[in-house]
Amino acid sequence: MNKVLIIGAGGVSNVVVHKCALLPEVFGEIVLASRTKSKCDSIAQAVLKRTGKQIITEALDADNVSETVALIKKHNPALVINVALPYQDLAIMDACLETGVDYLDTANYEPKDEAKFEYKWQWAYQDKYKDARLMALLGSGFDPGVTNMFCAYAQKHLFDEIHHIDIVDCNGGDHGKAFATNFNPEINIREITARGRYWEKGEWKSTDPLSVSQKFDFPGVGERNMYLMYHEEMESLCQNIPGLKRIRFWMTFGEEYLTHLRVMQNIGMTRIDEVEYKGQKIVPLEFLKAVLPDPGSLAENYTGKTSIGCVIEGIKDGKKSRKFIYNICDHAETYKEVGSQAVSYTTGVPAMIGAKMILQGHWKKEGVYNMEQLDPDLFMEDLNKYGLPWQVEEWSNSVK
């Protein structure tokens, strides 16, 4: 039976472990490791109660390659599922290379001292993984991940040429807090406060943070204001969708959220450089993370839905076509199923499915791959089967 090592013990990890536990024929044994073992134990207890599956837990500093190597050698997994922080991607990839184990993550690498995430660091592992006859699957979450698969599916089945892609992401839920982030606050705030970027006519164009917005009517949620941002899946999609002329990413934010964010920026709480406080060096954003609500704690009282998808324009049978491929996910329903809110759920389910594709041999390749480089059909079937049903609609309104 396949054994997997899951690294990380946040909200996404909780979903991944639950979903893997429900497929013992694919995930025979599950080892869960994190810096804080008590978090692993808490997830393991919840999984045991819901599914009856025993989970092995371990303490691990994933920044330490030799420690990760030792843990991999101890358990000999067939695959490492990385749902830890993006800062740790390269260290975990190094450990997988040293031990000869396939690798999967949900978000691309980001250096801790600079708010700049891009794939170049992980793409540089292409030859190493190919020579080792190993696979590294990058970005098997929702966005990136499912959105990449939506584009690959559209390219294979719905269009002869794809010209424009707009990825639109709405969390229409309400957690009842004055200000909270739906995943790791440090990563979330770094992402949102970065300059916006989009790809058009073969080059990247940039905008001031959250300076471009428009209304969009999200299925299942309604009309919301969405903002142009940079997001990592655009970097690979613009290379892997032939004929593409433009790709953009949009995300919704409420006015109260943006007001809190502006205040925190103005008083320096989103800084990622060190400041001195009472004789100690601290990073303001790391301190802010410590006082904000844990994203996992939001799940119990979360109401509303997420609505995420891709508006795709192109040519089919010589005629212009515009399709919207999307998923709607309910916060209350995901909490009922696995004890997590929908933002964690929409990332965790695709991580499990990506791992399933590798372990079953459907996506077993050598080298470093982004999701859209792989056949989408079985993955898309599994989205419907394991909790993230998707729809395709003719879409009348273009994104401006």
Q: Determine the structural domain holding residue 260 and report its residue range.
A: 146-340+389-394
Structure tokens at 115: 């708010």
The reply to whether 131 and 151 lie within a common domain is no
Q: Which of 113, 138, 163 is the last residue of a domain?
A: 138
Residue-wise pLDDT tens digits, 18-65 = 999 999 999 999 999 999 999 999 999 999 999 999 999 999 999 999
Tokens 């794809």, residue?
162
For residues 259 and 286, the answer to whether their CB atoms sit within 8 Å is no
The reply to whether 282 and 248 lie within a common domain is yes
Q: Give the CATH number, domain containing residue 257.
A: 3.30.360.10
Residue-wise pLDDT tens digits, 74-92 = 999 999 999 998 989 999 9
The reply to whether 121 and 205 lie within a common domain is no
The reply to whether 43 and 79 lie within a common domain is yes
Does some domain include residue 89?
yes
What is the per-residue pLDDT for 183?
61
The reply to whether 335 and 207 lie within a common domain is yes
Rounded to whole angstroms, the Cα distance separating 277 from 189 reads 22
pLDDT at 178 over 70: no
The reply to whether 131 and 160 lie within a common domain is no
The reply to whether 161 and 228 lie within a common domain is yes
Rounded to whole angstroms, the Cα distance separating 21 from 284 reads 38
The reply to whether 107 and 162 lie within a common domain is no
Stretch 264-271: mean pLDDT: 80
The reply to whether 25 and 170 lie within a common domain is no
The reply to whether 77 and 209 lie within a common domain is no
The reply to whether 189 and 332 lie within a common domain is yes
Does some domain include residue 351?
no
Burial of 336 (0-12, 13-18, 19+ CB in 10 A): exposed
Does some domain include residue 378?
no
Tokens 């990825």, residue?
167
Does some domain include residue 60?
yes
Q: Give the CATH number, domain containing residue 109.
A: 3.40.50.720
Does some domain include residue 134?
yes
Amino acid found at 188: N
Task: Please give the backbone phi and psi of residue 117, each rounded to the nearest 5 degrees, phi first.
Answer: -105, 130
The reply to whether 202 and 332 lie within a common domain is yes
